[in-house]
Structure 1
Amino acid sequence: MENFIWDYNSSDYFGHYSTDLSQISSESSPCYPESLEINTYVVVIIYALVSLLSLLGNSLVMMVVLHSRSTCSVTDVYLLNLAIADLLFALTLPFWAASKMIGWIFGTFMCKIISFLKEVNFYSSILLLACISVDRYLAIVHATRTVIQKRHLVKFVCLAVWAVSLFLSLPMLLFRSTVYLLDLPLVCYEDIGSSTTRWRLVLRILPQFWGFILPLLIMLFCYGCTLRTLFKAQMGQKHRAMRVIFAVVLVFLLCWLPYNLVLLADTLMRTGLIEETCERRDHIDRALEATEILGFLHSCLNPIIYAFIGQKFRYGLLKIMAAYGLISKEFLPKEARPSFAGSSSGNTSTTL
């Protein structure tokens, strides 16, 4: 294996390992990336902060939505499920932080479960955002009351999103395992025997299309049409009501689009469409690490968006605090929007 390129990056535990472990020869001459150990403690601190902020923020979101379930809109139901997905992911970050420091010491079972939860979070997040974009498109562009706005049907839509996310994440349960790589610590890695390299490309391309590219195209179409309608009709109030939704989608794209673009470049290199060199492999590995950390930040950002932009979310939180005597009722505003996501459309009102 004269041209073998050693592509293991000890800081990445989620998906861009693709070396066929069974084919590593003792006579191979790999090129090693520069050590990133200097950044280890910084990354672990970021993981810890993101985990704490996400647990706190998304718990508050769930509490506010459930406390105000009688006035929740369809969008609020989707955002509740989005908070649940982010909360589940936050619970996995301590494991990745520990693995970053000392390798994967939690065994194969936890390797499968933790990897599975991370994948479910990613797919459910973008699919829920796609559902929100379709709901906004139908409510504003077509100005119609859609059938999915009925309470029981909204629940079925959310269940379908979770089912698709679970299905797309199944490879993590089936193929993830703890693997020894030469003298390096244990890693949580796909192990499909002699076909690892080939199958990893298949398992990467198909979910990336169905779980990212297709929902992204749906969102771009729906929000493109929605914005055009809002500006043409000069619907100022509804335009303001969309600020939270646009902010949520924009933050998701800013957090996860860079990682997926780098992952695409990595896939093109592994399929031979881009020449693979030691220098290019090192650059892509570094980019994957940096953009993945950016993706992790997403799980704690949505509650911050709601707090700064969502008037009803702030009202709901203050109302709960007043009910428990944490603040005076005098601090409560006299009026609040019907949806903590900022929706002012009567066509989208429903209950949980």
Structure 2
Amino acid sequence: MTVFVADFSNYTDWQFYEFENITGTPPTEEHYTPCKIDTETLNKYAVVVIYALVFLLSLLGNSLVMLVILYSRVGRSVTDVYLLNLAMADLLFALTLPIWAASKAKGWIFGTPLCKAVSLLKEVNFYSGILLLACISVDRYLAIVHATRTLTQKRHWVKFICLGIWTLSLILALPIFLFREAYRPPFSSPVCYEDLGANTTKWRMVMRALPQTFGFLVPLLVMLFCYGFTLRTLFAAHMGQKHRAMRVIFAVVLVFLLCWLPYHLVLIADTLMRMRVISETCERRNDIGRALDATEILGFLHSCLNPLIYVFIGQKFRHGLLRIMAIHGLISKEFSVKDSRPSFVGSSSGNTSTTL
């Protein structure tokens, strides 16, 4: 594998701190003042251990989720199909975690092709995740607020919607795929980052603004709107069973936001600093670099959390898993008969089928 080597002879070792985090490439502004930054913001061996644990949990958990949903052909709801795709996205991303862990310990030693591939999977995982959650919120809104059972139960539409989500996620992630390169800056270990050529700041703003608008802010607003009216309807009608049926969905959305929102807020702060909306200082660059490293780990952690939510909150998932284990003789059948219901995400009616 060939590692691209760029010519950075005009920069001092003080100016290469940005290659060690996600904040950018060497600045070109005339008024730039070099900063001596400590690039070891986090203990790399601790990060490797975290990535390894997340990889194992995600691989096991999301495989089980996909198995339970695929096994439950009878009574599978529209939401189940979305959750199946969500588990698939997390599983695909989890497969890249050993590579990210190795890069934390040794630097990027895998060359440009793999740099592009794993970066693409990371971006697709994020965008498909939030777009799928937005679709679930619309499905629940239609089913509960407008009671449009016909629209929410036509599964052949769901297949096309999921295909559209994967396609849109790939489009939103395409800039990262096109511009990512493997670099070996002087005085630094190799890195996997964007090569934007001239007008680095301008292009970086475009690459951040468009995906964050259409792949984060818009789906987030859709979820807030749909779940706001859904909760109002549920509370107004005093439908306690439907409240319980929605618990897992709300938990999945909440965990997603807790894991990824901090990273994107820090990314927005970094963008504002680069646009000179907020003042840029050496201390602030260092703080944002550390924050991006930490919040990126939090985002990576999300890939293993949904299965844990299903286990601790999703009664139907537990039953489905126990039933599969009983069929294959792993446990006695007595365990699988408790709380036996047909859907993966519990539901109080056909209109509110939400699998967990």
- TM-score scaled by structure 2? 0.91
Q: 2:199 maps to which residue?
A: 195
Tell me, yes or no, if structure 1 residue 206 matches structure 2 residue 210: yes
Spell out the pairing of 1:1-352 with structure 2 (5 A cutoff). 7-8=17-18, 10=20, 12=21, 15-20=22-27, 23=28, 30-36=34-40, 39-347=43-351
The answer to whether the Cα contact below 8 Å between 1:149 and 1:348 also exists between their aligned partners in 2 is no
Q: CA deviation at 1:143?
A: 1.3
Cα pair distance change 1:195/1:312, threshold 3 Å:
same
Does the aligned pair in 2 maintain the 1:9–1:285 contact within 8 Å?
no
Distance (Å, rounded) in 2 between the aligned partners of 1:275 and 1:138: 45
Taking a change above 3 Å as real, the CA distance of residues 350 and 40 of structure 1, as seen in their structure-2 partners, is: closer
Q: Secondary structure at the match of 2:337?
A: coil
User: Is this contact kept in 2: 1:238–1:343, CA < 8 A?
Assistant: yes
**Residues 37 and 137 of structure 1, relative CA distance in 2, 3 Å threshold:** closer
Cα drift, residue 71 of structure 1: 1.9
* TM-aligned CA distance change 1:24 to 1:91, over 3 Å: farther
Per-residue CA deviations over 1:57-79 (Å, capped at 9, x if unaligned) read 00000000001122211111000
Say if 2:259 and 2:298, in contact at 8 Å, map to a contact too.
yes
Letter in 2 for 1:94: P
Distance 1:36 1:146, change over 3 A: farther
Say which SS state the counterpart of residue 342 (structure 1) adopts: coil
How far the C-alpha of 1:338 sits from its partner, in A, is 3.6
Query: Which whole-Å CA distance do the structure 1 matches of 2:43 and 2:232 have between them?
Result: 45
Contact 1:138–1:146 (8 Å) recurs in 2: no
For 2:199 and 2:41, the matched residues in 1 are separated by 31
Paired residue secondary structure (2:18): coil
- The Cα offsets for residues 4-29 of structure 1, whole Å up to 9 and x where unpaired, read as 9655152x4xx532435xx499xx85
* Cα distance between partner residues in 1 of 2:353 and 2:33: 63
CA contact (8 A) 2:144 2:352 kept: no
Which segments of 5 or more consecutive residues in structure 1 lack a partner in the other structure?
none
Partners of 2:55 and 2:241 in 1: CA distance? 35
Aligned-residue identity in percent = 69
| 1:193 CA drift (Å) | 1.3
**Alpha-carbon distance between aligned partners in 2 of 1:38 and 1:144, rounded to the nearest angstrom:** 50
| 3-state DSSP of counterpart to 1:178 | strand
Count of aligned pairs between the two proteins: 344
1:113 & 1:328 partners in 2: Cα distance?
A: 44
* Whole-angstrom distance in 2 between the partners of 1:105 and 1:35: 18
The one-letter code sitting in structure 2 at the alignment partner of 1:193 is G
Measured after TM superposition, the shift of residue 144 of structure 1 is 1.6
The residue type equivalent to 2:229 in the other structure is C
2:182 partner SS: strand
Secondary structure of residue in 2 paired with 1:189:
strand
CA distance in 2, matches of 1:349, 1:253: 23
Shift of 1:334: 4.1
Aligned residues: CA RMSD: 2.3
Mapped partners of 1:246, 1:165: distance in 2:
23
Aligned partners of 2:346 and 2:353 also within 8 Å: no
Unaligned runs of 5+ in 2: 1-9
**Which amino acid in structure 1 is aligned with residue 83 of structure 2?**
L
- CA deviation after TM superposition for structure 1 residue 147, in Å: 2.4
For 2:166, the aligned partner's letter is W
Shift of 1:349: 5.5
Q: What is the CA distance between 1:33 and its match in structure 2? A: 2.1
The whole-number CA distance in structure 2 between the counterparts of 1:323 and 1:202 is 53
The one-letter code of the counterpart of 1:16 is T
Partners of 1:98 and 1:137 lie apart in 2 by 43
SS of residue matched to 2:43: helix
Are the structure 2 counterparts of residues 188 and 35 from structure 1 closer, same or farther at C-alpha, using a change threshold of 3 Å?
Answer: closer
SS of the aligned residue for 1:19 comes to: coil
The residue type paired with residue 141 of structure 2 is Y
CA distance in 2, matches of 1:183, 1:159: 44
Aligned mates of 1:70, 1:161 — CA distance in 2: 25
* Cα distance between partner residues in 1 of 2:242 and 2:303: 27
Given the superposition, is the C-alpha separation of residues 5 and 234 from structure 1 closer, same or farther in structure 2, using an over 3 Å criterion?
farther
TM-score, length-scaled by structure 1: 0.92
